[in-house]
Chain A
Amino acid sequence: MSFNAVITWWTENTRLIELLVDSLWETLVMVFTSGFIGFAVGIPLGVLLHLSKKNGLLENTSINKILGIVVNIGRSIPFIILLVALIPVTRFIVGSSIGTAAAIVPLTIGAIPFIARLVEGALLEVPSGLVEAAQAMGAKPMQIIKKVLLPEALPGIINAVTITLVTLVGYSAMAGTVGGGGLGDVGIRYGYQRFDATVMMITIVILVILVQMIQSLGDHLVKRVDHR
Chain B
Amino acid sequence: MIEIKNVNKVFYQGNKAINALSDINLTIEQGTIFGVIGSSGAGKSTLIRCVNLLERPTSGQVIVDGVDLTALSEQELTQTRRKIGMIFQHFNLLSSRTVFNNVALPLELAGVAKNKIKSKVEDLLELVGLADKRDVYPANLSGGQKQRVAIARALASDPKVLLCDEATSALDPATTISILELLRKINEELNLTILLITHEMAVVKGICQEVAIIGDGKLVENGTVGDIFAHPKTDLARDFIRSTLDLSIPADYEARLHATRTENSYPLIRLEFTGASVDAPVISHVAREFDIDISILSSNMDYVGGVKFGLMLAEFIGPEACANKAIQYLKEQKIELEVLGYVI
Contact = CB atoms under 8 A, between A and B. Distances in A.
B109 A137 contact: yes
B95 A227 contact: yes
Contacts of A137: 81-82, 85-86, 105-106, 109, 153-154, 157
Interface in B99-137: 105-106, 108-110, 137
B95 A152 contact: yes
B283 interface: no
B109 A138 contact: yes
B88 A154 contact: no
Nearest to B154: A137
A135 B94 contact: no
Contact of B88 (A129, A139, A225): A129
B94 A130 contact: yes
Among A138, A225, A228, residue most surrounded by chain B Cβ atoms (within 10 Å): A138
A127 B91 CA distance: 11
B97 interface: yes
Contacts of A228: 95, 139
Nearest to A128: B92
Given A135-B54, A137-B81, A137-B157, A147 B108 contact: yes
A227 B96 contact: yes
Contact of A138 (B94, B96, B110): B110
Nearest to B80: A138
Given A137-B81, A139-B78, A132 B92 contact: yes
Contacts of A227: 95-96, 137-139
A139 B92 CA distance: 15
Which residue, B79, B109, B139, B153, has most C-beta atoms of chain A within 10 A?
B109
Contacts of A138: 78-82, 106, 109-110, 157
Nearest to B82: A138
Nearest to A154: B96
A223 to B, nearest CB: 13
A19 B266 CA distance: 102
A151 interface: yes
B96 A136 contact: no
Interface string A185-228: 00000000000000000000000000000000000000001011
A148 B94 contact: yes
A222 B248 CA distance: 52
A134 B156 CA distance: 13
Interface in A109-143: 127, 129-130, 132-140, 143
Interface string B59-83: 0000000000000000000111110
Interface in A147-176: 147-148, 151-152, 154
B311 interface: no
B88 A133 contact: yes
Contacts of A130: 92, 94
Interface in B143-170: 153-154, 157, 163
Contacts of A133: 86, 88, 92
B84 interface: yes
B96 A152 contact: yes
B334 interface: no
Contacts of B86: 133, 136-137
A207 B81 CA distance: 54
B141 to A, nearest CB: 11
A139 to B, nearest CB: 5
B72 to A, nearest CB: 12
B150 to A, nearest CB: 8
A122 to B, nearest CB: 13
A166 B105 CA distance: 36
Nearest to A227: B137
Contact of B96 (A129, A140, A225): A225
B46 to A, nearest CB: 13
A136 B109 contact: no
Contacts of B95: 152, 227-228
B199 interface: no
Contacts of A148: 94
A85 B246 CA distance: 74
A227 B141 CA distance: 12
Interface of B: 52, 54, 78-82, 84-86, 88, 90, 92, 94-97, 105-106, 108-110, 137-139, 153-154, 157, 163
Which A-B residue pairs are the 6 nearest by beta carbons? A133-B92, A138-B82, A138-B81, A227-B137, A151-B96, A136-B86
Given A134-B109, A135-B54, A228-B139, 11 more contacts: A132-B54, A132-B88, A133-B88, A134-B105, A137-B106, A138-B79, A138-B106, A138-B109, A147-B105, A148-B94, A228-B95
25 contacts: A130-B92, A132-B88, A132-B92, A133-B86, A133-B88, A133-B92, A134-B105, A135-B54, A136-B81, A136-B85, A136-B163, A137-B85, A137-B86, A137-B109, A138-B78, A138-B81, A138-B106, A138-B157, A139-B109, A147-B105, A148-B94, A151-B96, A152-B94, A152-B96, A227-B95
